[in-house]
Amino acid sequence: MISDLRRSAVPFLLAAVMAATLPAVACRGSHPSGTDATAAAQSNTQSSAQRPEPRPEDFDPTPATPAAIKLSGEKAFATLKEFVQLGPRYLGSPGHAKAEQYILSHLEGAQIEQDQFNVVTAAGPFAMNNIIAKFPGKKDGIIVLAGHYDTNLPLKDTTFIGANDGGSDVGLLLEIANHLRQHPPEGYSIWLVFTDGEEATITWTDADSVYGAKHLAHRWQQDGTASRVKAFLLLDMIGDKDLHFEHEAYSTPWLYEVVRRAGSRLHLDAHFNDRYAPIQDDHLPFRDVGIPVVDLIDLDYGFDNLYHHTTQDTPDKCSAQSLQITADVVAETLRALNTR
Ligand code: ZN
């Protein structure tokens, strides 16, 4: 993913400070013509017009609401570590093929769909594969939990393994699969989506990024799935030892509030930094086809995001505790979404 703040001419720290103090105005100031936070908010309003806008408080659980599912941050972290031992997972690499097999072998008991396709990227043609694990529920509608598993092609000649970037989300999604295998959803169906080709193959642009998400969102628009998806939660960079979620600005406002209120009920406010940050990521193509989306992301990984997209993105920079925090927020959000 890429932060629109980072692409600005304003130094990142200054932008971050300004965003923290004067969210929309500061972002507008640093992006006179680009896709800034204000534009994100405006287009959020436009896209939300396609569906009636629920009120976040309508999702607050009542005493009658069933308890949240219990997920293990320890198990998610163990899976993260095992997964990244497969090595770099850039497009076309042996590690990428191993990663696909690893994910598939850990999804036994789920209905599996592989969205396999070929695409000519900025760096040439590649085969890609979005892996979807479906756990049918009892209510009509789908909640999607998603994350990417590829690593960066431009870093192919390094030891980059993306422990947080691509590893943390896979670890947690597979832990959720473990749970759902034994405890099928009582409410909406839950689909776990492991996207491919999230990373840029040369340099991040609208065209050279989120290849898998674009392919799947288009398919879901064509086959009618998009209208059945109640919520799409993207998990990205959620393993950082020092975990602070952004208020990601392209996220659908009511759905972000549902997540944020879930965090407050769990007394996890300290892990939401409330920085209004527009970040381009896998959620955008799904948002573009009218699906309510949230990008649950911490894009401050190491001082000034130092570990991001470097060989320092290793498991020792992540923790089971951070994965537990994310897992609890996801579980409480699922609980909330199922109140309606
Ligand atoms: Zn990345």
Q: Which residue has the tokens 């991001």?
A: 308
Which DSSP string corresponds to 56-74? GGGG---TTSPPPPP--HH
Cα–ligand 1 centroid distance for 14 (angstroms): 23
pLDDT at 83 over 60: yes
Tell me what pLDDT residue 224 has.
Answer: 98
Cα–ligand 1 centroid distance for 57 (angstroms): 33
Summarize pLDDT for 253-263 with one digit per residue, the tens: 999 999 999 99
Cα–ligand 1 centroid distance for 26 (angstroms): 25
**What value does the mean pLDDT of the chain take?**
90
Tell me what pLDDT residue 4 has.
Answer: 78
Domain 54-337 sits in CATH at 3.40.630.10
Neighbour count for residue 325 (Cβ, 10 Å): 20
3-state DSSP helix/strand/coil % of the chain, to nearest 5? 40, 20, 35
Cα–ligand 1 centroid distance for 151 (angstroms): 7
- β partners of residue 111: 134
Summarize pLDDT for 38-77 with one digit per residue, the tens: 566 556 655 545 677 899 999 999 988 999 999 999 999 9
Cα–ligand 1 centroid distance for 199 (angstroms): 6
Cα–ligand 1 centroid distance for 145 (angstroms): 18
- β partners of residue 233: 145, 294
Cα–ligand 1 centroid distance for 282 (angstroms): 11
Summarize pLDDT for 293-312 with one digit per residue, the tens: 999 999 999 999 999 999 99
Cα–ligand 1 centroid distance for 198 (angstroms): 8
Handedness of CA 161, 162, 164, 167 (dihedral sign): negative
Tell me what pLDDT residue 257 has.
Answer: 98
Cα–ligand 1 centroid distance for 87 (angstroms): 15
Between 31 and 114, whose confidence is greater? 114
Could you give the percent of the chain with pLDDT greater than 70? 86
Which phi and psi (to 5°) does residue 198 adopt? -70, -40
Cα–ligand 1 centroid distance for 62 (angstroms): 38
Cα–ligand 1 centroid distance for 7 (angstroms): 15
Cα–ligand 1 centroid distance for 2 (angstroms): 8
Cα–ligand 1 centroid distance for 308 (angstroms): 7
Summarize pLDDT for 186-235 with one digit per residue, the tens: 999 999 999 999 999 999 999 999 999 999 999 999 999 999 999 999 99
- Write down the domain spans for the chain: 54-337
Mean pLDDT (whole number) for 107-121:
96
Cα–ligand 1 centroid distance for 162 (angstroms): 7
Cα–ligand 1 centroid distance for 89 (angstroms): 12
Cα–ligand 1 centroid distance for 240 (angstroms): 13
Residue 291: pLDDT band by 50, 70, 90 thresholds? Answer: very high
Q: Are strands 245-248 and 272-277 parallel, antiparallel or unpaired?
A: parallel
Summarize pLDDT for 160-184 with one digit per residue, the tens: 999 999 999 999 999 999 999 999 9
pLDDT at 10 over 60: no
121: helix, coil or strand? strand
Cα–ligand 1 centroid distance for 315 (angstroms): 15
